[in-house]
Amino acid sequence: MQNSKKFYPMISQTHDIPNQYRVSPIRLNQYVCDGELRTWDGDTTPVYSTIETMDQEGNLGPTLLGHVSKMDRTKALEATAAAVKAFDRGKGDWPTMRVKDRIKCMENFVDQMKTKRDEIVRLLMWEIGKNLGDSEKEFDRTIDYIYATIEACKDFDRKGAKFSKVSGVRAHIRRGPLGIVLCLGPYNYPLNETFSLLIPAIIMGNTTIFKPAKLGVLLIGPLLEAFATCFPKGVVNVLFGRGREVASPIMSSGHIDVLALIGHSTSATALQDLHPNKNRLRLVLGLEAKNPAIILPSADLMSTVTECVSGALSFNGQRCTALKILYVHKKIKDEFLTLFAEAVDAAVFGMPWENTLLTPLPEPHKPDYIQSLIDDALAKGAKIINKRGGERSKNFIFPAVLYPVTKEMNIYHEEQFGPVIPVRDFEDINLPLDDMAESNYGQQVSVFGQEARELAPLIDVLTNLVCRVNLNSACQRGPDAYPFTGRKDSAVSTLSVHDALRTFSIRTFLAAKDNSMNKAIINDMLVERQSNFVNTDYIL
């Protein structure tokens, strides 16, 4: 049963906060440019948590977490110039460095990063309201991701450490960097998803400019020194500020070769449009999704309910992979909805360090937005079928299960990215399939059922509509070894540990006619170890 005492106060009095999770305001006015930790002395923006605490005058309100630099066009262009200089049209130390030496820099970085775990986990909880377990998981998963990337990079290098010969032409084929990468991550995974772009981009020899998301920004502060000291000058440049003032001039400069962005398509489109030379711009995008769950009559209802609750509501539904609409077969609709509504109402709200499923929403306007989706659906004939759905506080709205949802409702079309769960029913499986085919999105689907004969043809279609079909489990990105991508407007390019290294590089090779002159030259290069590219060293 829900502990209503935990839900209604919605605030955390200072004395309720365990010592190790308390925060005091941070001034984040450093940034990384050209290998230096520099200080910004211009305007700053206050950073608040929607978690309310008492200030010195005894007033309750959003907690001031600190101030962050509000950098401008001049600094953005300085960082761009640093990245351009470090790449030096392919001549720079970093893009020409042996892979094993790049790996040493990355190992040094991850060693330093590991020492910042407590600080970063604490800030994840305050800045974006992610619960303790998930904040720890975000940090640990990122460390694992970096180690896995290092291993995958060694593997690429080993595979390239050879010559092939076809039609009298010898080839030494490797993967080379693309150039200058602009990395912009999302607020819901400000560490993990941003680093899932940044780390492979760096290790493949690109030079980078990175601007944290609008929320989850202070937690990058503890890593600035490591970024500045572990890599050669200009390889990683870290800026803070608004997208319009920082990212826009960088794109307009025309120097960006790869836009790597996980976030909203409006930002991705606006930034692409600023690039003066679009054909040279490569895109690595993770955008909106509206992943459905399809619940068949043969589904095991208890485990389906459990998966649907966590799939729709972990981190309050603020995941691109969250289940954002449920399709339930009419035969089991009543039973499923009763169990599901009870399970949703049993979800506990609390402060992030209390490790509850539901926590404060970090975007101040989010409860009103979710409310507007609920109001619109109710006005068009849906009902809230769980008792607690729509209960409000300043920084939260209790998840409402809305049924029946129709195409006239905004919740059917919009990616809610928050705690509200629309449900449709079906008799003919073509209803959810047609909806998915019409949708602009195509990331993942969850299908619940136990009859192989019913599931098999369905999976054959679903795999052509989305990029991952989850059988009897919620949608998710991990394990990171598997491809993470989407069709239609949901993504451009594929990210997994291995795929990301491909995404941020291009095949490039030495080709030489097989004659005695070329043989002698290549032999000399290998024996004298004169080239970093042409080498057959085997990294262990």
Residues engaged in binding ligand G3H (CB under 6 A): 188-189, 193, 319-321, 476-478
* Alpha-carbon gap, residue 477 to 321, rounded angstroms: 7
State the distance between the two ends of the chain, measured CA to CA, in whole angstroms: 54
CB of 490 to ligand G3H, least distance (A): 11
Q: Which residues contact 290 (CB under 8 A, 6 or more apart)?
A: 324, 325, 415, 439, 441
Q: In the complex with ligand G3H, which residue's Cβ is closer, 188 or 359? A: 188
Closer to ligand G3H by Cβ: residue 53 or 291 = 291
C-beta of 241: minimal distance to ligand G3H in Å?
23
Cα–Cα–Cα angle for 289, 271, 283, rounded to 5 degrees? 60
Cβ of residue 189: shortest distance to ligand G3H, in angstroms? Answer: 6
Closest CB 323 distance from ligand G3H, rounded Å: 11
253/496 with CB nearer ligand G3H: 496
Question: Measured from the CB atom, is 196 or 304 closer to ligand G3H?
Answer: 196
CB 356, CB 131: distance < 8 Å: yes
CB-nearer residue toward ligand G3H: 206 or 321: 321
Q: Residue 369 corresponds to which tokens in the numbers above?
A: 């937005």
State the nearest-atom distance from the C-beta of 138 to ligand G3H, in Å.
9
Min separation Cβ 319 and ligand G3H, Å: 4
In the structure encoding, which two tokens stand for residue 194, read together?
Answer: 């941003």
Closer CB to ligand G3H, 52 or 138, in the complex:
138
Token pair in block for residue 102: 């790049």
Phi and psi at 363, nearest 5°, equal: -95, 120
Q: Shortest gap between Cβ of 205 and ligand G3H (angstroms)?
A: 25
Cα separation, 73 vs 301, whole angstroms:
55
The dihedral built from the CA positions of residue 233, 234, 238 and 242, taken in this order, carries a sign that is positive
Q: Which amino acid is at 302?
A: M
Q: Considering the complex, state which of residue 189 and residue 227 has its C-beta at the smaller distance from ligand G3H.
A: 189
> Of 237 and 291, which CB lies nearer to ligand G3H in the complex structure?
291
Q: Looking at the chain, how many residues does it have?
A: 540
DSSP 6-27: HHTT----GGGS-GGG----EE
Measured distance CA(265)–CA(488) in Å, rounded: 12
For residue 399, give the DSSP letter.
P
Shortest Å distance, C-beta 74 to ligand G3H = 33
Among 109, 137, 134, which residue's Cα sits nearest to residue 238? Answer: 109
69: phi then psi, degrees, rounded to nearest 5: -60, 140
Q: Which ranges of 233-365 does DSSP label H, i.e. alpha helix?
A: 243-252, 265-274, 301-313, 330-345
Query: Closest CB to ligand G3H among 99 and 467?
Result: 467
Q: How far apart are CB 134 and ligand G3H at their closest, in Å? A: 8
Distance CA 401, CA 324 (A): 11
Q: Which of 54, 217, 196 is nearest to 126 (CA)?
A: 217
- Whichever of 132 and 409 has its CB closer to ligand G3H, that residue is 132
CB of 169 to ligand G3H, least distance (A): 42
